[in-house]
Amino acid sequence: MGEATILRERLVGEGLDPGAWSNGPGDQYGSHDHTYDKVIVVTSGSITFGLDQGAEELAVGDRLELPAATAHDASVGPDGVVCLEAHLPAGTLAGVAHREAGTW
């Protein structure tokens, strides 16, 4: 069983319904926010999210929890990135949390 499948099953086991997205090397997103909470897990490559409290660098297996209305930008690493992302109702998450691979 591949790493992406294992990570997806872990999210599904939490009752989440993750979808996948990807971007190429060096792709960037300007600062924005969302009306929903979201959980992002990297399954391939890397991405750095810029937050008010600083940069959060995510690699394979890392998880980022972003509450609604959290301003963030993003820069994709040199090998591109593939992520799983699940949306939750605003107010579900207690705060921004970066959980490294193997800790969640």
pLDDT tens string 32-91: 999 999 999 999 999 999 999 999 999 999 999 999 999 999 999 999 999 999 999 999
15's torsion region: left (phi>0), alpha (psi -120 to 50) or beta? Answer: left
How many C-beta atoms surround the C-beta of residue 49 within 10 A?
20
**Where does the pLDDT of residue 27 fall: very low under 50, low under 70, confident under 90, or very high at 90 and above?**
very high
pLDDT for 28 beyond 80: yes
At 1 the pLDDT is 75
At 70 the pLDDT is 98
Q: How far apart are the first and last CA of the chain?
A: 19
At 44 the pLDDT is 97
Q: Which residues pair with 1 in a beta bridge?
A: none
